[in-house]
Amino acid sequence: MDKRKELLSGEIISPPTITDHISLVELVERTFLSYNAGRLREACQVYTQKMLKEEVTIGVSLAGALTPSGLGVSCLVPLMEKGFIDWIVATGANLYHDIHFALGLQLRQGSPFCDDAVLRREGVVRIYDIVFDYRVLLKTDAFLKNVFSNKEFQKEMGTAELHYMLGKYLNQEEEGRGTKSSSILAAAYRLAIPVYTPSPGDSSIGMNVAALALIGNELKIDVNLDVNETAAIVYGAKQVGGKSGLIIIGGGSPKNFLLQTEPQIQEVLGLSEIGHDYFIQITDARPDTGGLSGATPSEAISWGKVNPEGLPDTVVAYLDSTIALPIITAYVLNKSTTREQKTLYEKRVQLQEALKRDYLKKRD
């Protein structure tokens, strides 16, 4: 094939007329053809056609105020229950606001044009166009303090164990209210999906842990354990001939924590690896400012984070996550059958021991 013919080998742009009975799958596949719509279509296809194979371990990172808008309930929990997410890295804030739903505390639609001085005076909190009673925070804090005061929390642990144990209590709250599948953490407990937070002190969950430390509570968070456990998840997947796929919603610290598993394996531990195999990101961050949130998968190759051979299976869509995630979820649920749960929470100790064993061999 000559170069000209190769350059003009793409599908002809000829979408159908949209009618009142078009399905979401057909809408994505036949009318999302160019620009960020095209990238969103490619993300849906990489997810369903490549990442949902049994040998792929799928990590998801969550940044930005996703759970307050209901995306945990509407999108993430259904994906988790279908086996389409194997492990999660999230900001503590996303997990804190997730707790409101399990506790039956109400967040409401509001306006981004409120007088915030009036909101403060009336005891109303605002997240852009979401509003809720200030007592939602106080009730959630009281729940956390009560749970974290229990005997099983009086030790040092990683955030996966912290969130798993917290999820047990949230699952009980859901069962008591008859509202199963309202919380990411409760679902993660039921499905044995490990959930990590890269900066545990940077949220109201961490703030409550810190407050309890002032009165002698012995709960401590081991961030070293989190770094090694997440690296072990990726290393373990690759060691048995599997692949690693990443879905990055937003950017920030969760994106880095998800991606840094490969530099931890290669650069720091000195073990042989070639990078993550699949990479989907939804972001509104630009790459030219130098921040990680907007950094491209091709740049990640230079760090060893992404397998160079996997570059064709990397997609970045510059979109609002609150628009893209529901479309991706609906598409994937329509196109794919249930996948067996990997229950990585139950395997994380074994995976870390295997990583440690190979690291010690390398050092000898």
Residues taking part in catalysis? 305
SS3 content of the chain, % helix, strand, coil (to 5): 55, 15, 30
Question: What's the rounded Cα separation, in Å, for the pair 211 and 245?
Answer: 37
Q: How many CB atoms are located within 10 Å of the residue 300 CB? A: 24
User: What single-letter amino acid sits at 50?
Assistant: K
In the block, tokens 């106080």 appear at: 138
- Cβ-contact 329, 40 below 8 angstroms: no
- The single-letter DSSP state of residue 15 is P
Question: What's the rounded Cα separation, in Å, for the pair 347 and 335?
Answer: 29
In the block, tokens 């997947």 appear at: 237
- The single-letter DSSP state of residue 181 is T
Q: Can you say how many angstroms the Cα of residue 31 is from the centroid of all Cα atoms in its chain?
A: 28
Q: Nearest to residue 350, comparing CAs of 175, 173, 229, 189?
A: 229
Q: Nearest to residue 129, comparing CAs of 117, 114, 113, 112?
A: 112
- Cβ-contact 207, 140 below 8 angstroms: no
Q: What is the SS3 assignment for 184?
A: helix
Between strands 108-109 and 124-127, the pairing is: unpaired
Question: What's the rounded Cα separation, in Å, for the pair 8 and 89?
Answer: 41
Q: What is the SS3 assignment for 279?
A: strand
Question: What's the rounded Cα separation, in Å, for the pair 109 and 129?
Answer: 6
User: What single-letter amino acid sits at 97?
Assistant: H
